[in-house]
Amino acid sequence: MAMVILISALTATHLKAQDNFVFWPDADYDPAIPTVKDVLGYKAGERITWHSDAVRYFEALAKAAPERVSVAKYAESWEGRELIYVVVSSAENMARIDDIKTGMQRLADPRKTSRAEANDIISDQPAVTWLSYGVHGNEISSTEAAMLTAYHLLASRGDQRVADIMRDTVVVIDPMQNPDGRDRFIHHFETAEGLVPDSDRISAEHNEPWPGGRTNHYLFDLNRDWFIMTQPETRGRVEILQEWYPVAFVDAHEMGSDSTYYFAPQAIPFNPYLAGDQLASLALFGKNNARWFDSFGLDYFTREIFDAFYPGYGASWPSYFGSIGMTYEQASSRGLVVRQYDGNDLSYAYTIRNHFVTSLSTAEITAANREKFLTDFYNYHSSAIEDGSKDSIKSYILPKQADQAAVNKLTGLLVQQGVEVGRANSSFDACGSSYAAGTFVINTAQPSKRFIRTLMDVNVPMEESFLAEQERRRAKNLRDEIYDVTAWSLPLMMNVKVDTCYRPVNEKFTAAGPELIQPGTVSEGAGSVAYLVPWGSAPAVRLLVNAMRKGLAVKSSDLAFTHNGNRYPAGTLILDAADNPDNLPEIMTDLAHSTGADTTSVDNSWVTDGPNFGSQNVVRFNQPKVAIVWDEPTLSYSAGNTRFIIERQFDLPVTAIRARQLINSDLSRYQVLILPQSGYRQGYADVLGKKGTANLKDWVAKGGVLIGLGNANRYLADPNIDLQSIRRENAVVETGNEKSSGTSSKNENKPMEATVKGSNLADASAYRDSITPEKDKPDSVAGVLVKSDVDPDHWLGAGVAPTLNVLVRGTDIYTPIKMNKGVNVAAFRGADDLLASGYIWEQNRKQLAYKPFVVAQRSGKGYVIGFTQDPNVRAYLDGLNIIFMNAILRGSAHARPVR
Ligand SMILES: [Zn+2]
């Protein structure tokens, strides 16, 4: 694009502002170090830099000053873009950079490093400052700030602050944590550009088309993914951070365009497992940022929002490794210039400058407090071990269980994040129970203790005062300040049984490895008659999908059965030798190995209890062609994360179809269609209209399986659509006052009265009632884990754990389906036993009781299946995988289209 012409065509004042824009007053730069303009042809702030150009710039810096800067790759995005980090420090430090890393690794484990040794390391070691930019791809300014920060550190002459930073710290810059999202944003921005940059927010260049640049390729919010590591970008970061162990970690973001700048200290609630000195140090960084902002005359705020309670943020995860984690947020220009509410034009250069200033300010504070931060870092880990030996929970025991694959994945995830997990070499007794060999044990007296408790505990409590304040706000109809989910317990989300023990378990252990999948085995006979694969674990699903993709004939029993003395759960796969190629034994061995599924080969078909292999209760699979609705009106996270689970965790290709295509297209090629959650602007009814709905109904009647996730059920259950017989509920009318539910109070046929009946407001409570609006919908829940019981008689529940933990968010609650219309395959528990983890409003807890989570309804030759809460959020509710994949795979096997 002719960027030079574009720039010269800016309005005169704007041009002047850009031309004279001073990123750092009085800087004296060495001309031997290339500027952004030298390498890319424009000055910082004049263009939004593409991923490949940013990489090119850092490589140019490394070429110009190889003794002070290095560039390394740490991951590759789904779309093939390199993720890099840039290390900047003095030549002396760079010459011994490996020793510096080793020093940090030694400080991170006080069991191996005595205090005296630690003091030696601390006296001799620079501290690492980690600056991470652009995890949200449409938060653009920080990547430019990354380039300026590196340039400033390398090119400044005669600046004592820079000399201090280069001597006392190693600055690691991650310039772009989400390159796919960033380039997606730039592509749309440049496509919409005209003669001059437009500051009007309704202009096309400020309106990102679906899905926007925030997320990565599979539309994940990478700033929620840290502890669950589903995405390659996150996995790479988790690995390098455990190599470098920064003492300070900044995640630089952007926020709404009308705001100013936000930095530490963060908002409450604090995670109770963080150390006090970490919180105290936040103020050091905040105060220094404030000092610089005062000298530049810039506005900022702290503390009001952006807590670090949830451990999956960039600003929280490093805190569990002894770092001081921080979020910085700049008001976004979402382009080259944006008009703010007061009429001010906020330029891109201005936003870049602010992140640049706080980046240097952060490194300055690390340098000034080098010794303190390194000592705090060591103390963090030694106090973690100490606490772990004093806590009431001293070990977590993961006994052998039906879904052992889930246990393997959970322990693999923890090991990848530096947790030491032991696998018992023989059986043992502990805390009143007996455990088999192979049981996993996590003792808490280790450096990762705080991280372990945060992820493994059933509940991480929020401060009472914070919760009281939220209830006070809710009573006043003010928005609550809970920023994200209040529950994330890994064992609950993965449906893994864990025992806690008040004493450490010291048996003979083998250290568990980082693998998420253990190769499966084939046991028993020669397989002359069939292979059996017990249902109910992720590996079995992967095996089924891969077997179908290889063209194998697979069937499955809807009921449990006993064969040769072994009990097989409902859903167990049966691969008959007679229906499959002669080399089935080799294929099955390969499949068991690659998918992790344990399989049994049998030499007779005699079943002693339950259906035989030729029973009516045994269904044959046909590899379904699966489609997911894409683009408006879907919620991009729901669409992308669902597609990720099906494609990348279960190997089944998914066709993404833009919603508008559903109005007229022939869908007969597809057996399954998934409606993800819808977004905020419009719903499915708005986009599909009558014609699209008729098309969907016709397709279901002919044998399609339609699956609605979360609020997509508002559409399916809409009385005017009636694809499904459940209905969405309003808030419950509270007895004893005159509040009533939304719909019943809308007396639309009655003419409006000019006056109303008079009343005396006798007390404050009557006054409060008089100003409380009628409540349409239940209050929105930020995110809690709720128990749901599964009906084992329905094929959708085949192989599924009897109780599931469901993440409940938002306002959607539906009526149960009547027995003559369909089956409530999974329903929430009664109010007193509902909550598994997190904080839920009292009214929601009562109203959710016994309401459906999964509903299946036969419709013509097909099915409509509703999940009233999205089972695929962040791809981290592994415990819901089987019932969701049942809907796809068993749903299409049970539908009866003409074939
Ligand atoms: Zn952000």
CA–CA gap between residue 853 and residue 605 (Å, rounded): 37
679: CA distance to ligand 1 center in Å?
19
255: CA distance to ligand 1 center in Å?
7
Angle at 609 between CA 603 and CA 613, to 5 degrees: 50
> What's the pLDDT at 272?
84
> What's the pLDDT at 528?
87
> What's the pLDDT at 267?
78
CA–CA gap between residue 688 and residue 187 (Å, rounded): 28
446: CA distance to ligand 1 center in Å?
33
174: CA distance to ligand 1 center in Å?
15
135: CA distance to ligand 1 center in Å?
7
pLDDT, tens digit, 9 for 90 and up, residues 843-873: 999 999 999 999 999 999 999 999 999 999 9
Angle at 844 between CA 839 and CA 847, to 5 degrees: 145
Q: E strand or H helix at 671, and its extent?
A: none
Residues with CB under 5 A from ligand 1 (ion): 136, 139, 253
> What's the pLDDT at 690?
97
Secondary structure (3-state) at 462: coil
The strand ranges marked E within 160-232 are: 169-174
Q: E strand or H helix at 693, and its extent?
A: helix 684-701
pLDDT higher at 592 or 267: 592
User: With 60 as the cut, is the pLDDT of residue 14 above it?
Assistant: no
> Which three-class secondary structure string do you get for 51-112?
HHHHHHHHHHHHHHCCCCEEEEEEEECCCCCEEEEEEECCHHHHHCHHHHHHHHHHHCCCCC
252: CA distance to ligand 1 center in Å?
7
What DSSP line would sit under 262-286, residue for residue? E-SSPBSPPPTTS-HHHHHHHHHHH
Q: What percent of the chain has pLDDT over 70?
A: 96
215: CA distance to ligand 1 center in Å?
10
CA–CA gap between residue 33 and residue 151 (Å, rounded): 7
DSSP state of 649: I
617: CA distance to ligand 1 center in Å?
51
CA–CA gap between residue 362 and residue 765 (Å, rounded): 50
Contacts of 776 (CB under 8 A, 6+ apart): 730, 731, 741, 742, 743
Q: Are 399 and 171 in contact (CB under 8 A)?
A: no
pLDDT, tens digit, 9 for 90 and up, residues 426-461: 999 999 999 999 999 999 999 999 999 999 999 998
pLDDT, tens digit, 9 for 90 and up, residues 152-200: 999 999 999 999 999 999 999 999 999 999 999 999 999 999 999 999 9
217: CA distance to ligand 1 center in Å?
16
148: CA distance to ligand 1 center in Å?
20
Joined tokens for residue 568? 């097989």
206: CA distance to ligand 1 center in Å?
17
pLDDT, tens digit, 9 for 90 and up, residues 254-304: 999 999 999 988 877 778 888 888 888 999 999 999 999 999 999 999 987
User: With 80 as the cut, is the pLDDT of residue 753 above it?
Assistant: no
User: With 70 as the cut, is the pLDDT of residue 16 above it?
Assistant: no
Residue 751, Cβ density class (10 Å: 0-12 exposed, 13-18 middle, ≥19 buried): exposed
428: CA distance to ligand 1 center in Å?
48
> What's the pLDDT at 278?
86
Question: In the structure, what pLDDT confidence band is assigned to residue 751 with cuts at 50, 70 and 90?
Answer: low
Cis peptide bond N-terminal to 272, omega within 30: no
126: CA distance to ligand 1 center in Å?
29
221: CA distance to ligand 1 center in Å?
9
Angle at 84 between CA 213 and CA 214, to 5 degrees: 10
What DSSP line would sit under 225-255, residue for residue? -TTT--SHHHHHHHHHHHHH--SEEEEEEEE
Joined tokens for residue 719? 């009385």
Question: In the structure, what pLDDT confidence band is assigned to residue 15 with cuts at 50, 70 and 90?
Answer: very low
228: CA distance to ligand 1 center in Å?
18
User: With 50 as the cut, is the pLDDT of residue 554 above it?
Assistant: yes
Mean pLDDT estimate for the chain = 93
532: CA distance to ligand 1 center in Å?
48
pLDDT, tens digit, 9 for 90 and up, residues 61-119: 999 999 999 999 999 999 999 999 999 999 999 999 999 999 999 999 999 999 999 99
334: CA distance to ligand 1 center in Å?
12
User: With 60 as the cut, is the pLDDT of residue 7 above it?
Assistant: no
User: Please, which residues bridge with residue 442 across strands?
Assistant: 396
835: CA distance to ligand 1 center in Å?
30
pLDDT, tens digit, 9 for 90 and up, residues 485-527: 999 999 999 999 999 999 999 989 999 999 999 999 998 777 7
48: CA distance to ligand 1 center in Å?
17
pLDDT, tens digit, 9 for 90 and up, residues 691-710: 999 999 999 999 999 999 99
870: CA distance to ligand 1 center in Å?
23
536: CA distance to ligand 1 center in Å?
37
Secondary structure (3-state) at 258: coil
561: CA distance to ligand 1 center in Å?
51
Question: In the structure, what pLDDT confidence band is assigned to residue 748 with cuts at 50, 70 and 90?
Answer: very low
Residue 758, Cβ density class (10 Å: 0-12 exposed, 13-18 middle, ≥19 buried): exposed
331: CA distance to ligand 1 center in Å?
11
134: CA distance to ligand 1 center in Å?
7
637: CA distance to ligand 1 center in Å?
15
268: CA distance to ligand 1 center in Å?
18
Secondary structure (3-state) at 511: strand
CA–CA gap between residue 853 and residue 860 (Å, rounded): 23
352: CA distance to ligand 1 center in Å?
15
216: CA distance to ligand 1 center in Å?
13
695: CA distance to ligand 1 center in Å?
39
355: CA distance to ligand 1 center in Å?
13
| CA-to-CA separations, 646 to 408, 653, 754, 797, 885, in angstroms, rounded | 20, 7, 58, 18, 8
Q: For the chain, how many residues are written?
A: 899
10: CA distance to ligand 1 center in Å?
29
567: CA distance to ligand 1 center in Å?
50
799: CA distance to ligand 1 center in Å?
39
User: With 90 as the cut, is the pLDDT of residue 879 above it?
Assistant: yes
455: CA distance to ligand 1 center in Å?
23
Question: In the structure, what pLDDT confidence band is assigned to residue 735 with cuts at 50, 70 and 90?
Answer: low
What DSSP line would sit under 469-487, residue for residue? HHHHHHHTTPPP---S-S-
Choice among 66-80, 292-306, 382-396, 797-811 with the minimum mean pLDDT: 292-306
Q: What is the mean pLDDT of residues 796-801?
A: 97
460: CA distance to ligand 1 center in Å?
24
627: CA distance to ligand 1 center in Å?
30
User: Please, which residues bridge with residue 500 across strands?
Assistant: 396
User: With 60 as the cut, is the pLDDT of residue 400 above it?
Assistant: yes
> What's the pLDDT at 752?
63
Q: Are 517 and 524 in contact (CB under 8 A)?
A: no
65: CA distance to ligand 1 center in Å?
32
Joined tokens for residue 248? 């300070």
314: CA distance to ligand 1 center in Å?
10
254: CA distance to ligand 1 center in Å?
5
54: CA distance to ligand 1 center in Å?
19
783: CA distance to ligand 1 center in Å?
20
Q: What is the β-pairing status of strands 672-675 and 626-630?
A: parallel
Nearest to 520 by CA among 505, 507, 537, 495: 537
853: CA distance to ligand 1 center in Å?
31
168: CA distance to ligand 1 center in Å?
30
Which stretches within 275-319 are classed as H helix?
276-296
56: CA distance to ligand 1 center in Å?
24
User: With 50 as the cut, is the pLDDT of residue 664 above it?
Assistant: yes
Nearest to 743 by CA among 755, 733, 753: 733
775: CA distance to ligand 1 center in Å?
32
